[in-house]
Structure 1
Amino acid sequence: MVRSATPPPSPAGTRSRRPLAAAALCGIGLVAAALTAGPATAGSAAAESTGAASGSSLAAATPVPDGVLMSYVVNSKANPGQTRLAERAVRDAGGTVVQSWPQIGVVVAHSTSADFREDVVDVAKGHAVQSVGATRTAAVKTPTDAAPPARSLTRSTETRSAFEIRQGVSATEVVEADPLEGQQWDMTQIKADVASDGSRGVTVGVLDSGIDDTHPDLAPNLDAKNSVGCTAYGVPDTRRAAWIPTTSDHGTHVAGTIAAAKNGVGIVGVAPNSLMTSIKVVDDDGFIYPEYAVCGFVWAAEHGVDVTNNSYYVDPWMFWCSNDPDQAAAKEAVRRAVSYSERNGVVSAAAAGNSNYDLANKTTDTTSPNDTTPVTRQIDEGCEDIPAELPGVVTVASTDQAQAKSTFSNYGDGVIDVAAPGTRILSTVLNGGWGLKSGTSMASPHVAGVLALLKASHPDASPSELVALLRAQADDRPCPTDVRCTGTPAYNGFFGDGLVDALDATGGR
């Protein structure tokens, strides 16, 4: 469900998500300078909030070692003048401005000073800078120690990239190259196999590990001109080398589900006449840091993208908590980017995650931060999986071939919007091949494809209207005999409003 300040009337059988807690109780991590307090606005299209932590107290600051190069976001009001003042504050504090997004009031900065966060606030003298936060707990790699590996498109069927392991995605099981539509049970489950495809003219941005532009099922529908890499500290890079895969076939697999061409080769995607833009946000170590995601959403907003797919969570925190100022500032930067893309007509789908975790009843996190040493921390609803739990984003759970919840899929009453197939999904992989993967990463692109079909059928619909249609058309799936599943047949925590329906999205019945 789109969580906007003025949501459209809920279609029959839908249910709004529960509100976020006013105060977050999650725990430890690096701490930023936050200038104001109070909950962020609920609306994805509302005025930009300060990004400060909610709750009555902030976590104690954890020192950053002096001399270690760290990455930060500095949030200001969203206008060029305020952003320039924030840039000046970064430089006066001894930092380096890496990238600025005045559209949303976000500056990406690097510094080796242990006091950078406090110094930026001090030199700003209470003006321009609203919040500052470290985007990671590990040091930034310099070009000399972050040289990419030699590119190889050869992938073992038994191995996964570091990114895929962290996301909980299964290893690729490669299948023989042959016309494979008969093996796409997932397309039958959501009725994409009988839906008419009028998605020509719609563009889907695949925020992921890159798309193999040489694959015969993907090359016809890839918009290379508007593809970009965002992993160079969040600075857009349009060179082909920046947006093709280097260490993972994950993005290539996702892309095939969305829009593999109907060309007599291999498989067919949900929306095979749509275009895809490769927006690479996964670096060669498998991380998606906040500045990468910000770059990706702003790029989508300004380069003709109608739909984005986001089969990942932003690193290094599985859940970003609002009472930790570092996490709050970084989460606010990503929220602003998502909101900006929505205001520019982009609708987004995101994977709910693969930890079989109840997102409506968060208690602990033992996996974060994943770029240094994880700790066990107490969390609650103020700690969010981003981008999946951000306002305006469709949160997607996974089903198996029997239309049951996939064993790995996260769930949550009031959190999950819809469900789609995600177990042993056949799609495109590197070297022109096809293979099977499992994960909510595989479910989300089905929804992105259906959103593309809806956009084609309703070209003037806003993102919130498209989401309302998506949810209203979804096929109800009642709870099984499982005490974890709460709700009704029309809406519950396992399937949300139900399985997405590609046939209804194209006007069929």
Structure 2
Amino acid sequence: MRRTVGVAMLTGIVVATLGSGATAATAQTTSDYIVVLRAGTDAPSVAAEHARAGGASVGYVYEHALRGYSARMSDAAAARLARDSRVLFVQRDGLVTADAQTTPTGINRADAELSPTAKINGLDERVNVDVAVIDSGVDLDHPDLNVYTAGAKNCSTGNSADDGNGHGTHVAGTIGALDNSAGVVGVAPGARIWPVRVLNNAGSGSFSAIICGIDYVTAHASEIEVANMSLGGAGTDSACGTNKDAMHEAICRSVAAGVTYVVAAGNETDDAANHVPAAYDEVVTVSALADFNGLPGGGAAATCRSDVDDTLADFSNYGGDVDIMAPGVCIYSTYKGAGYATLSGTSMASPHVAGGAALYKATHPTASPSTVKSALQAAGTTAYSWPAGDPDGIQEKLLNVSTL
């Protein structure tokens, strides 16, 4: 595989679509759009042509996960472009924000110390796998992470994939913090972290920026095995190829290229079917367990927030779209500024599973994303209190990587 470089930790994100109840716009209202083109279309040339003819101000151009581009233009111009025979569909851009609610108890609870692949022994042996953290960036200089700085990508503001928020660095640590006897250790210690920044320092961004990140990961699908997206927002599922949702189409094609996507279920105490990308069938959707001591059995006293030990976290989304559960309450991990912090959310649960996926891919390099998902579910346990707090009546498996 690739040469060993630096690793970083990610957390989760929430995606919020533009409100459908906004006041009706006039024909000259300027908005941000995503234009998806037909397969085989030369995206850069069509984007340039549309900019000249229709006054669109082009932003990102997509050539791997999608053929298309993002642009600011009038609503009337967007309507005209939608009639171009080379255009599949045009949709309004959306917004994203970080979703951390607020130690590695989660590492203990997932039995990562028993994994023959993780080899947690304090000797800084590194898992030979590459994981993209699509988030607020990663602290590129964090001493407890193996960050692959040559693979960094900035799809957000500024000139760097360095983390100005902290969320992405926290997620990265849960995935792969070094097993070096200092700080914390991740599920897949030393995994190479590819920082893909799609959020700004305030923890917000756009659908178009996220697609830019997915597009970048897809371009490197021969190198990147796993991608973590602790993202979520209002929306529903649609089948691949229906040309209704640009972010979903991008993920469909990236998964088809071999990348396993792990995403947060969301923190709205709601059915995950009402949130994207959690609702997408092609990803591994993760709900959050409240666990305060890293052990099954319940009864541990709450620490950083009020919740009930060994149950579904009171903020976690749930439902048939959830594929697996992992610890997501009071998780201690790496943070920006070479620091450490405790955060809660399905954003913190997702990177535990991304780390598990990394362990599996390290020993099964040709496994498809669907095979990775099935392997994680098969290795999971039901050793937690149920159905307390789980409104849908479906007991998801709890992540356990002891055999991976």
Shorter-chain TM-score: which interval? 0.7 to 0.9
Task: Tell me the CA shift for residue 471 of structure 1.
Answer: 1.1
Q: Does the aligned pair in 2 maintain the 1:455–1:466 contact within 8 Å?
A: yes
Alignment of 1:427-442 (within 5 A): 427-442=333-348
For 1:115, what is the secondary structure of its paired residue? helix
Q: Please state if 1:242 is matched with 2:132.
A: no
Q: Deviations over 1:252-279 (max 9, x none)?
A: 1111111100112111100003110100
Structure 1 CA distance, aligned partners of 2:110 and 2:56? Answer: 50
For 1:71, what is the secondary structure of its paired residue? strand
For 2:381, what is the secondary structure of its paired residue? coil
Q: Please state if 1:251 is matched with 2:164.
A: no
The match for 1:173 is none
Structure 2 CA distance, aligned partners of 1:277 and 1:337? Answer: 19
The match for 1:197 is 117
Amino acid at match of 1:80: T
Structure 1 CA distance, aligned partners of 2:281 and 2:237? Answer: 15
Alignment of 1:75-154 (within 5 A): 75-81=36-42, 84-85=45-46, 88-122=49-83, 124=84, 127-136=85-94
The match for 2:401 is 502
Taking structure 1 as reference, are residues 485 and 479 closer, same or farther at Cα in structure 2, changes over 3 Å only? Answer: farther
Q: 1:169 aligns with which of 101, 114, 132?
A: 101
The match for 1:407 is 314
Q: Does the aligned pair in 2 maintain the 1:76–1:86 contact within 8 Å?
A: no
Structure 2 CA distance, aligned partners of 1:312 and 1:358? Answer: 15
Q: Deviations over 1:163-195 (max 9, x none)?
A: 44xx2521xxxxxxxxxxxx5321111100221
Structure 1 CA distance, aligned partners of 2:97 and 2:269? Answer: 18
Select the structure of larger CA radius of gyration: 1
Q: 5+ unaligned residues in a row in structure 2: which ranges?
A: 1-18, 119-125, 292-308
Taking structure 1 as reference, are residues 81 and 431 closer, same or farther at Cα in structure 2, changes over 3 Å only? Answer: closer
Structure 2 CA distance, aligned partners of 1:423 and 1:484? Answer: 16
Task: Tell me the CA shift for residue 416 of structure 1.
Answer: 0.8
Q: 2:380 aligns with which of 471, 474, 478?
A: 474
The match for 1:348 is 261
Q: 5+ unaligned residues in a row in structure 1: which ranges?
A: 1-26, 31-60, 138-161, 171-182, 233-238, 361-383
Q: Give the RMSD, CA atoms, in angstroms.
A: 2.8
Q: Please state if 1:291 is matched with 2:190.
A: no
The match for 1:393 is 283
The match for 1:279 is 196
For 2:172, what is the secondary structure of its paired residue? helix
Structure 2 CA distance, aligned partners of 1:163 and 1:76? Answer: 27
For 1:416, what is the secondary structure of its paired residue? coil
The match for 1:336 is 249
The match for 1:146 is none
Structure 2 CA distance, aligned partners of 1:90 and 1:477? Answer: 57
Q: Deviations over 1:49-69 (max 9, x none)?
A: xxxxxxxxxxxx93257364x
Structure 2 CA distance, aligned partners of 1:274 and 1:82? Answer: 34
Q: Please state if 1:306 is matched with 2:231.
A: no
Q: Does the aligned pair in 1 maintain the 2:207–2:247 contact within 8 Å?
A: yes
Task: Tell me the CA shift for residue 298 of structure 1.
Answer: 1.5
Report the count of equivalent residues.
358
The match for 1:187 is 107
Structure 1 CA distance, aligned partners of 2:327 and 2:389? Answer: 22
Structure 2 CA distance, aligned partners of 1:341 and 1:398? Answer: 25
The match for 1:426 is 332
Structure 2 CA distance, aligned partners of 1:486 and 1:477? Answer: 18
Structure 2 CA distance, aligned partners of 1:474 and 1:322? Answer: 25
Structure 2 CA distance, aligned partners of 1:256 and 1:245? Answer: 13
Task: Tell me the CA shift for residue 479 of structure 1.
Answer: 6.5
The match for 2:142 is 215
Structure 1 CA distance, aligned partners of 2:44 and 2:144? Answer: 43
For 1:288, what is the secondary structure of its paired residue? strand
Q: Does the aligned pair in 2 maintain the 1:454–1:466 contact within 8 Å?
A: yes
Q: Does the aligned pair in 2 maintain the 1:298–1:340 contact within 8 Å?
A: no
The match for 2:150 is 225
The match for 1:320 is 235
Q: Please state if 1:269 is matched with 2:186.
A: yes
Structure 2 CA distance, aligned partners of 1:482 and 1:201? Answer: 38
Greater per-residue strand proportion: 2
Taking structure 1 as reference, are residues 293 and 483 closer, same or farther at Cα in structure 2, changes over 3 Å only? Answer: closer
Q: Does the aligned pair in 1 maintain the 2:284–2:373 contact within 8 Å?
A: yes
Structure 2 CA distance, aligned partners of 1:343 and 1:423? Answer: 32
For 1:436, what is the secondary structure of its paired residue? strand
Q: Deviations over 1:9-30 (max 9, x none)?
A: xxxxxxxxxxxxxxxxxx9357
For 1:255, what is the secondary structure of its paired residue? helix
For 1:504, what is the secondary structure of its paired residue? coil
Percent identity of paired positions between Structure 1 and Structure 2:
31
Taking structure 1 as reference, are residues 102 and 87 closer, same or farther at Cα in structure 2, changes over 3 Å only? Answer: farther
Task: Tell me the CA shift for residue 117 of structure 1.
Answer: 1.5
Q: Please state if 1:445 is matched with 2:377.
A: no
Structure 2 CA distance, aligned partners of 1:207 and 1:417? Answer: 20
